[in-house]
Amino acid sequence: MSSKQEISTREQAAFEAGIKLGALYHQFVGAPVNMDTVESLEAAIQKSISVQPFVDNISVSINRRMIQESLNDTFGYCELQGRMLSVQLNVIYEDARISAKLEYDEKMGYPLMSIVPKE
């Protein structure tokens, strides 16, 4: 029988950051977007995630070049893709503060979520 291990506040903060980024990714990827709506979509994503528990701040940037390159010629919009997102957020859980990010890794060809190391 193993003894119960305590979860540190830093581990809980990291978990919360991962949940926020995962929710953001799966909630918004696939949303219709074009050059006229990209700014309002960024704001909507930020506002949506910022109301969740423990979020201290969040910034969202959508790559406009990728949008321009992906626009459908007939209808003038595309779907938001994970590779288009660049997100930075801070979570505070009790005495722990975690910075996390979501950004496209060109080498891996994949949008990765990670904890930002303390400076």
pLDDT for residue 31 = 98
Write down all domains in the chain, each with its CATH number in brackets: 9-115 (3.30.1300.20)
What is the distance between the alpha carbons of residues 117 and 119, in angstroms, rounded to a whole number?
Answer: 6
Measuring CA to CA, which residue among 43, 78, 73, 77 is closest to residue 58?
Answer: 43
pLDDT for residue 3 = 60
What is the distance between the alpha carbons of residues 74 and 43, in angstroms, rounded to a whole number?
Answer: 27
Decide if 89 contacts 41 (C-beta within 8 A): no
pLDDT for residue 118 = 81
pLDDT tens per residue, the chain (119 residues)? 556 789 999 999 999 999 999 999 999 999 999 999 999 999 999 999 999 999 999 999 999 999 999 999 999 999 999 999 999 999 999 999 999 999 999 999 999 999 999 87
- For the chain, the three-class secondary structure string (H helix, E strand, C coil) is CCCCCCCCHHHHHHHHHHHHHHHHHHHHCCCEECCCCHHHHHHHHHHHHHCCCCEEEEEEEECHHHHHHHCCCCCCCEECCHHHEEEEEEEEECCEEEEEEEEEECCCCEEEEEECCCC
